C-alpha cells in the first residue's frame, strides 16, 4: 500500500475489544456488538484514508453502521483509497456469556481487493502452509485426512480438526471420528479457528465445516499472510437463496481459494482478543490498566507482529460514532 496504516488498524480493533469487554458475561450479545461497532466506526474516521466498507455488519445484522458501501476514514485530498472488511466481534455470544476465543477483526486492501460472496454461509476447508495446495474440498474427509497425515508425517490419530458444534455438522463429525482423528468442537468464533491452522506452534491441522461467508473472507486475509490456504464453496441456506444466486450467475460448485477471495497481493489484517483464546489473550484489567493483545499481518512482506498494549484507564478516550469522544472510565462520559 502507498501508506502504512498497520498501527492505526490495530487501534481500531483495540477500541472495539475494550468497549465490548465492558459487557463480558452480561448475557446481552446485541449490547456487545453495538458497543464494538460504535467504537470501531468512530475510530475508523481518525485514519487518513478514503475507506469503503465492502464487508461489514449492515446487510446481515441490519446494523446502522459499518454497512456495506459506507464511507469511513477522513477522506482528505491525497488520502489512500482502501476497501475495508470488518467484524467488530467474531463471537458476540462468546463475550456475552464469558466464553473463550472472541476477537475483533479488520482487514484492508486497495480497491477491488476483496471478493464479494452472495451467500451468508459457505462450506470451508482451512489449512496451514505445509498443507496448502495439497487438499481438496471436494474430496472425502477420509481422503483429506490421509493425505494430511502423510504430508505432515503424523498418524491420523494425532491430527486435530476444528469444527463448529452445529447439528448440520453431524455427518462431518461422525466421519472424522470414524477415520480416527482428534476433534476440537467450538461454539462460535470460526475466524480464529481457521487462522489457528497456520499459526506457528499451533496444534490445529484442519478447520472444516459450514460457517459465515464474511468470516471466510476475513480468515483468508490472515491466511494469505501466513502462507496457509482456505477453500470454500457457496452454501445456500435454502432453495430460495440457491435460485437467487443462480440468477446472478453464481455457481455453487465453484471452489474459491485464498487468492480468489483476497485478490490483492497487499492486504493488512489485524485482530485483538476480547476473551482469552488459542490465538490471543483477552482484555485484562489490572488496577487502573487494561491490557490487550493483538496480532497484525501484512501479506506483501509476510510480516506477523504481536502487540501487547497497556491502556491507562485514567487517560483512555475512545471515539464513538454515536457520541463523539468519550472517557472510558466513570460511566463512559462524553468529553
pLDDT at 83: 97
**What is the domain extent for residue 229?**
121-261
pLDDT at 63: 59
- Is the predicted pLDDT of residue 76 greater than 80, yes or no? yes
For residue 161, what is the domain's CATH number?
3.40.190.90
Residue 299 lies in a domain: yes
pLDDT at 155: 98
* CA 214 – CA 144 distance, rounded (Å): 25
pLDDT at 65: 87
- Is the predicted pLDDT of residue 59 greater than 70, yes or no? no
pLDDT at 201: 85
Q: Which three cell numbers stand for residue 154?
A: 503424523
Residue 233 lies in a domain: yes
Instruction: Give the count of domains, the chain.
Output: 2
pLDDT at 251: 95
* CA 139 – CA 176 distance, rounded (Å): 13
pLDDT at 246: 93
10 Å Cβ neighbour count for 296? 22
Average pLDDT over residues 5-13: 94
Average pLDDT over residues 43-53: 95
- Is the predicted pLDDT of residue 118 greater than 90, yes or no? yes
The single residue listed with the C-alpha cell 476475513 is 218
Average pLDDT over residues 251-280: 96
- Is the predicted pLDDT of residue 233 greater than 80, yes or no? yes
Residue 312, beta-bridge partner list: 289
Residues 107 and 127 in one domain: no
Residue 59 lies in a domain: yes
Q: CA–CA distance from 155 to each of 141, 146, 220, 306 (Å)?
A: 15, 9, 28, 32
Q: Which three cell numbers stand for residue 315?
A: 487517560
* CA 325 – CA 220 distance, rounded (Å): 33
Kindly indicate the confidence band of residue 329, based on its pLDDT and cuts at 50, 70 and 90: low
Residues 271 and 232 in one domain: no
Segment among 7-11, 252-256, 305-309, 318-322 with least mean pLDDT: 318-322
* CA 328 – CA 24 distance, rounded (Å): 16
Residue 1 lies in a domain: no
- Is the predicted pLDDT of residue 326 greater than 50, yes or no? yes
Residues 256 and 193 in one domain: yes
For residue 65, what is the domain's CATH number?
3.30.540.10
- Is the predicted pLDDT of residue 312 greater than 50, yes or no? yes
64 Cβ neighbours under 8 A, 6+ residues apart = 58
Average pLDDT over residues 263-281: 95
- Closest of 193, 197, 208, 191 to residue 141, by C-alpha: 208
Average pLDDT over residues 291-313: 95
Residues 59 and 31 in one domain: yes
* CA 70 – CA 244 distance, rounded (Å): 24
On whether the pTM is more than 0.85, the answer is yes
pLDDT at 1: 54
Looking only at Cα atoms, what is the longest distance across the chain?
60
pLDDT at 289: 94
Average pLDDT over residues 187-214: 94
Residue 280 lies in a domain: yes
Map the chain to HEC letters.
Answer: CCCCCHHHHHHHHHHHHHHHHCCCCCCCHHHHHHHHHHHHHHHHCCCCEEEEEEECCHHHHCCCCCCCCCEECCCCCCCEEEEEEEEEEECHHHHHCCCCCCEEEEEEEECCCECCCCCCEEEEEEECHHHCCCCCCCCCHHHHHHHHHHHHCCCHHHCEEEEECCHHHHHHHHHHHHHCCEEEEECCCHHHHHHHCCCCCCCCCEEEEEEEHHHHHHHHHHHHHHCCEEEEEECCCCHHHHHHHHHCCCCCCCCECHHHHECCCCCEEEEEECCCCCCCCCCEEECCEEEEEEEEEECCCCEEEEEEEEEECCCCEEEECCCEEEECHHHHCEC
Kindly indicate the confidence band of residue 3, based on its pLDDT and cuts at 50, 70 and 90: low
Residues 146 and 85 in one domain: no
Residues 143 and 220 in one domain: yes
pLDDT at 28: 97
State how beta strands 284-286 and 229-234 pair: unpaired
Instruction: Give the CA radius of gyration of the chain.
Output: 19
Amino acid at each position: 500500500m502507498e501508506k502504512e496504516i498497520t498501527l492505526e488498524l490495530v487501534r481500531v480493533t483495540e477500541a472495539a475489544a475494550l468497549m465490548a469487554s465492558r459487557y463480558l458475561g452480561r448475557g446481552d450479545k446485541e449490547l456487545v456488538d453495538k458497543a464494538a461497532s460504535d467504537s470501531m466506526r468512530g475510530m475508523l474516521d481518525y485514519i487518513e484514508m478514503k475507506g469503503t466498507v465492502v464487508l461489514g455488519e449492515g446487510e446481515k445484522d441490519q446494523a446502522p453502521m459499518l454497512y456495506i458501501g459506507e464511507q469511513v476514514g477522513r477522506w482528505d485530498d491525497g488520502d489512500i483509497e482502501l476497501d475495508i472488511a470488518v467484524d467488530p466481534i467474531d463471537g458476540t455470544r462468546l463475550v456475552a456469556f464469558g466464553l473463550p476465543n472472541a476477537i475483533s477483526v479488520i482487514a484492508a486492501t486497495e480497491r477491488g481487493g476483496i471478493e464479494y460472496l452472495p451467500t451468508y454461509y459457505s462450506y470451508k476447508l482451512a489449512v496451514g502452509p505445509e498443507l496448502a495446495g495439497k487438499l481438496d474440498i471436494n474430496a472425502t474427509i477420509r481422503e483429506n485426512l490421509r493425505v494430511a497425515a502423510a504430508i505432515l508425517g503424523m498418524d491420523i490419530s494425532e491430527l486435530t480438526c476444528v469444527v463448529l458444534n452445529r447439528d448440520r455438522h453431524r455427518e462431518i463429525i461422525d466421519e472424522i471420528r470414524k477415520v480416527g482423528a482428534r476433534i476440537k468442537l467450538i461454539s462460535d468464533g470460526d475466524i480464529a479457528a481457521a487462522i489457528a491452522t497456520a499459526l506457528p506452534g499451533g496444534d490445529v491441522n484442519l478447520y472444516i465445516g459450514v460457517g459465515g461467508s464474511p468470516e471466510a473472507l476475513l480468515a483468508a486475509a490472515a491466511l494469505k499472510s501466513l502462507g496457509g490456504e482456505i477453500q470454500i464453496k457457496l452454501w445456500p441456506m435454502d432453495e430460495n437463496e440457491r435460485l437467487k444466486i443462480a440468477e446472478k450467475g453464481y455457481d455453487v460448485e465453484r471452489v474459491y481459494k485464498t487468492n480468489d477471495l483476497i485478490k490483492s497481493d497487499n492486504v493488512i489484517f489485524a485482530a485483538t482478543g476480547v476473551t482469552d483464546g488459542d490465538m490471543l489473550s483477552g482484555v485484562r484489567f489490572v488496577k487502573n490498566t487494561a491490557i490487550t493483545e493483538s496480532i497484525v499481518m501484512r501479506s506483501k512482506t509476510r510480516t506477523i507482529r504481536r502487540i501487547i498494549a497497556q491502556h491507562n484507564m485514567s487517560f483512555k478516550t475512545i471515539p464513538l460514532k454515536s457520541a463523539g469522544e468519550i472517557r472510558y472510565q466513570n460511566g463512559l462520559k462524553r468529553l
